[in-house]
Structure formats: C-alpha cells, structure tokens
Amino acid sequence: MPKLTRSWPLTGNRTALVIVDMQKVFCEPEGDLYVPSTRDIVPRIHELATACRSADVPVIYLRHIVRGDCSDTGRMRDLYPDVDQVLARSNPYVEIIDELAPETGDIVVDKLFYSGFHGTDLDTVLRSRDVDTLMICGTVTNVCCDTTIRDAVHREYKVIAIGDANAAMSYPDLGWGAVSAEEVQKVALTTFAYEFGEVATTAQVRQRLLDQDR
C-alpha cells in the first residue's frame, strides 16, 4: 500500500496547540520524573505558543495530576507505586514550568493518566471551538504525547506532532537492551508520520501560521 506524506492545512479558527505535561516534575532536575531532553524543547514550545496566541489559535496545556489519596490512580499506582505522592495536587512540582506559564485566555486540562482525552473535558473544549486540527508538543514523546495523539486520531482529529518540540526519555535494559532517548524519538516520530498523521518542525508550523494570516 503506497504511503502519502501528509500535510494538514492550518486554519486559525479550527486549529489548537496542545502542550503536554511541561510540568516541573518532568522538566526540572529536582523533579522526581525528570526528563533531561525537555530542556531542549522549552524555547521552541515558548516560540510556538507565542505564535499561536498572535494567530488566535487556542493554547491548551495538559497536566498530569492526581488527588493524592489513592482514590483515582488505579493501574497507574500498580505501575508507579509512588504516583500518589509524585503527582499529587498538593505537590508544587505538578505546576507548569515558569518559562511556559499559561497566559490569560489559555486553557489548562488536568488528566489522571497518559492521554489528554481519558476522563477529561478536552474533547468538549475542542469541539465547542470547532477545532479539527491539533498541533501536539511536550513530553514524553512516546507516552503521554503518543497516547494523546492516538486518542485524537481515533476521535477524527487531524494531528501534527511537532517533532523538535517533543521530548523523549531513555530506558534501561528491561530484557531487550537499553534504549536511548534518541532511538525512542526516532521510532516514535516515524510511527506518527506513517500511521497517524503529520510530523513537522516548529519552524514549519510557525511559517504556516504566518502564511494563513496573509
């Protein structure tokens, strides 16, 4: 079956930027779930969010936050026994990093698990604005970004993964050999581009946003 390279049109009033989990717990060295490669994507996400606000494109932040009393973590707690402490509402590290702090008019959606759509009002927020195209960036590329992208496609959204504004993490040897963040990123982005939609760079989508205003 031939594979076409997809490029979705960006229409300001039907496009939204979704910034996944750029929280202190993932993005600051003191965070319990620190992902070192996030430091490289912060300037690009800031640049992209600024361009979206100028183009009247909604900027939506996802945060992974739980109650902290073991009542809402379920399978997540099976996988990460300390999740009720690390991602608890009372932990200041669940807040968005200062460099990307939401601005007036931005939207923040809290989620309990990997996907931004699972048990949240994200779909309602998007459909109320007649959004049909999502630009997705943040961390972790192959976990929360990946799951959100797949759920979005299953809901018939057109999705653009911003390749240079997604951060992956490395994995230890769990029986098949250690995997570097670079290897994870390459496989994840290739899978997105082949199976789910479009992968573009920050510069490419910024230019397309500028072009639509001309």
CA atoms within 13 A on the CB side of 130: 4
In degrees and rounded to multiples of 5, residue 145 shows phi and psi of -65, -45
- The catalytically annotated residue of 27, 52, 137, 144 is 144
Strand arrangement, sheet containing 15-20:
107-111, 59-64, 15-20, 133-139, 158-167, 198-200
111 catalytic? Reply is yes
CB 38 within 8 A of CB 139: yes
From 24, 84, 106, 111, active-site residue: 111
52 is catalytic: no
**Residue 21 among the catalytic residues:** yes
Give the CA dihedral 113, 189, 18, 139, nearest 10 degrees. 50
Selecting among 21, 84, 151, 164, the annotated active-site residue is 21
Residues with active-site annotation: 21, 111, 144
